[in-house]
């Protein structure tokens, strides 16, 4: 028991709260580290304003969200009871509008372009910060090369990627202002394996981050055509070309010309010349 008039001591190891369901919104400024201090301070103010106006357009006020500043990016944890439909609609319409309005008044060196990720999941929150596998997943989507490349192609200064649960629960139902056909499946190479998500806008080539090229020996084996049968223990000779075409298969005759290489007639090699 604690004596009267004293305050119970806090445990030295503070356990994080149990994970709670949240909507996760991440926004990141392109080429932030390339700017000087004055430009970075300006870009952060613009980032906050664009985020606030987007969320207000979605009907989400400050009492329903938590914000964490990451310098060149902002993380928003939003009450899971807030509808995703107006939020996603605002990201597709209001955010590009705010970006265009901001960039019209900014110098070339202070233009702001944003990558965004919208996801859902469970996050543990305490006085020291946020933690959770779903949050880690969203951060890796934000940093993916596919999303960076999508922003380079974007004419709206904005690129958006949503998690698979957001697509299954909202996007695929084609709600007004959320065109399902504009979202394309992508697979990202994460630390713990492939990550599936959906990219808004122009479909990326292949829809998968390019893996590292295989070793030269593997590439050579993959690129070798199956050899035609020849003399046992010897490499099968390559079929020669005649007027731009390979001579192989069931050939019955060739008009004109002298051949000084083995000729493949239906898989049987006959030495030339004849």
Does the pLDDT at position 32 exceed 70? Answer: yes
Residue 4 within any structural domain of the chain: no
Per residue in 38-48, pLDDT (tens digit) is 999 999 999 99
The whole-number pLDDT of residue 193 equals: 77
CATH of the domain at 91: 3.30.70.1230
Does the pLDDT at position 171 exceed 80? Answer: yes
Residue 250 within any structural domain of the chain: yes
Which string of DSSP letters, residue by residue, matches 42-67?
HHHHHHHHHHHHHHHHTT--GGGEEE
254 and 120 together in one domain: no
CA torsion sign, 200 to 147 to 205 to 111? positive
Residue 179 within any structural domain of the chain: yes
Q: Number of structural domains, the chain?
A: 2
Most confident of 61-70, 166-175, 233-242, 244-253: 166-175
Most confident of 122-126, 215-219, 241-245: 122-126
Per residue in 55-82, pLDDT (tens digit) is 999 999 999 999 998 778 999 999 999 9
Average pLDDT over residues 74-98: 97
145 and 244 together in one domain: no
pTM over the 0.75 mark = no
Average pLDDT over residues 232-248: 46
The whole-number pLDDT of residue 253 equals: 45
Strand-pair partners of 199: 161, 184
The whole-number pLDDT of residue 57 equals: 97
Question: Which residues form the domain of 240?
Answer: 229-274
Report residue 6's pLDDT band, with 50, 70 and 90 as the boundaries.
very low
Q: Of 96, 195, 93, 178, which is closest to residue 142 (Cα–Cα)?
A: 195
């Amino acid at each position: 028991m604690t004596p009267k008039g004293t305050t119970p001591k806090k445990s030295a190891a503070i356990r994080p709260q149990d994970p709670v369901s949240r909507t996760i919104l991440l926004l990141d400024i392109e080429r932030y580290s390339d700017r000087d201090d004055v430009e970075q301070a300006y870009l952060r103010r613009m980032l906050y304003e664009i985020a606030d106006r987007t969320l207000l357009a979605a009907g989400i006020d400050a009492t329903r969200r938590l914000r964490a500043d990451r310098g060149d990016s902002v993380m928003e944890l939003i009450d899971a009871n807030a509808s995703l439909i107006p939020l996603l609609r605002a990201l597709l319409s209001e955010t590009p509008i705010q970006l265009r309005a901001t960039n019209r008044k900014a110098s070339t060196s202070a233009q702001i372009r944003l990558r965004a990720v919208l996801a859902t999941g469970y996050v543990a929150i305490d006085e020291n910060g946020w933690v959770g596998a779903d949050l880690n997943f969203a951060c890796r989507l934000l940093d993916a090369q596919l999303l960076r490349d999508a922003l380079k192609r974007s004419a709206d200064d904005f690129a958006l990627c949503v998690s698979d649960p957001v697509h299954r629960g909202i996007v695929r139902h084609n709600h007004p202002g959320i065109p399902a056909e504009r979202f394309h499946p992508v697979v990202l190479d994460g630390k713990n394996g492939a990550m599936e998500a959906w990219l808004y806008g122009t479909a990326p080539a292949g829809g998968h981050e390019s893996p590292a090229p295989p070793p030269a020996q593997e590439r050579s084996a993959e690129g070798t055509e199956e050899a035609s049968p020849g003399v046992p223990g010897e490499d099968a000779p390559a079929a020669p070309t005649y007027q731009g075409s390979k001579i192989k298969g069931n050939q019955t005759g060739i008009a004109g010309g002298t051949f000084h290489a083995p000729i493949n007639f239906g898989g049987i090699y006959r030495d030339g010349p004849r």
